[in-house]
Structure 1
Amino acid sequence: MKKADKLLISLLLLLSIGLLIPMFLYSQQGSFAVVKVRNEEKLRLDLSQDGEYEVQGTLGPVHIIVSQGKVEVSQENSPLHYCSKQGAVDNGAVPIVCLPNETVITIENDTENIEDTVIQ
């Protein structure tokens, strides 16, 4: 590997990391967790109220816990249990995705449906 190759790889790596930094620095905590199964909204959970919920995924029930402003999947039926292992999420930039169960949990703010611009 030549010196120019190492320099190019280093620059690309730094650029990649630099592009990820704003995503985590400027992301806001959400107000609601939206649970979708097969792209259909099943639940809209208020993150300020703790509770336990369950939705029916493709492979069986998906057990969801909301506590301390965060949402997590505690139990589900999938081969590798990635969504359970992901842990609690409170950031809109990081969804919980359970592909075998076709279940996606995203964090949204209550102001997302407000219009940003009015064109006359």
Structure 2
Amino acid sequence: MSANKAVGIATVVMVLCAWAYIALSREPRLPTSIANGRYSNGCCGTIFLHDGVMTVANQRVDYIIERDKAGPYVLPTAYVGASVHAVVVKFDAYPLKLRLDDAAHPHQLELLDDAADGVRYSFTRVNGS
């Protein structure tokens, strides 16, 4: 086998391995403790986050924290959204990303409206939490 063929085959193998690594790797997880605290919104209520468990409206929902190109987010195991008067949890619906404003020390958590118009509700971290 000539040197050119060997280099060509090695290059193709390296490109395929790099592609497989990128395609199969998951989004990087962040520690769940960074978002621990109580987040409140005047119209909708309060959300408690503590070490991977979200408590809202007397319901508990597990979550992880990851980061994508838009920034850090909380990914619950159920749909968690907001309406005009309350936070809505639907265990039979697709979960949405709840955006955090900062990966190191988040001060806000953003939820989408339960309605079709997709209004965003900001929940602010309560001091001392």
Short-chain TM bin:
0.3 to 0.5
* TM-score, structure 1 normalization: 0.33
* TM-score, structure 2 normalization: 0.32
Name which structure has the greater RCO, CA cutoff 8 Å, separation 6+.
1
Q: Which protein shows a greater Rg?
A: 2
